Structure 1
Amino acid sequence: MNTVLQRSFMDQRPIEIIYMTPESICTKRKIIVKKIDRDIILAYCLLRKDLRRFRLHDILAAYPLLHDKKRTIS
């Protein structure tokens, strides 16, 4: 997962994460990583159209976006 986050940071390309909110709700976000700290990711959230902080231990999965919209990850 860290490799995907670092690749997004280096290439400034969006990735998709599955994230557990503080209310224990799983949500899917498309983000572009702007900064990686020890426990926090600062990223531009394409859903909220704003910079957001994500705690690393609350990110359950991270994967690159597929270029072909017809393809999905199962």
Structure 2
Amino acid sequence: MNGLLLTSKEEKMPIEIMYISNKGEISHRTILVKDIQPEYIKGYCLTKKQPRLFKRTNILSAAKKSDRGVNYA
């Protein structure tokens, strides 16, 4: 997953993530990674249309879109 996050940041490529909030709510997001920190990912959420901070431990899966759909890691 780390490689995909880095690729998103460097190539400005949107990725899909499954994320669980601190309240236990699972959501599907499309994000652009802006910065990678040891505990957090700073990104722009295309779903919510605003900057967001994502806890790395709360990212359940990450994937890039392909012509055949989404392939989760």
> Structure 1 length as normaliser, TM-score?
0.89
- Counterpart of 2:11 in structure 1 is 11
Which amino acid is 1:49 matched to? K
> Alignment partner of 1:28: what SS?
strand
Q: 1:21-69 CA deviation, whole Å, 9 max, x = no partner? A: 1110111100000000110000000011110000000001001122x3x
Show structure 1 runs of 5+ residues with no match. none
User: Unaligned regions of 5+ residues in structure 2, if any?
Assistant: none
CA distance in 1, matches of 2:57, 2:63: 16
Alignment partners' CA distance in 2, 1:27 and 1:48: 11
Report the TM-score when normalising by structure 2. 0.90
State the match for 2:24 in structure 1: 24
After TM superposition, what 4+ stretches of structure 1 lie above 4 angstroms from structure 2?
none
**Distance in 2 between the 1:20 and 1:39 partners?**
15
Structure holding more strand per residue: 2
Matched residue SS, 2:32? strand
**Could you tell me how far apart the structure 2 residues matched to 1:28 and 1:61 are?**
10
The number of residue pairs the alignment matches comes to 71
1:72 alignment counterpart: 69
- Name the Cα RMSD after superposition: 1.2
Identity fraction in percent:
37
Q: Which has the larger radius of gyration?
A: 1
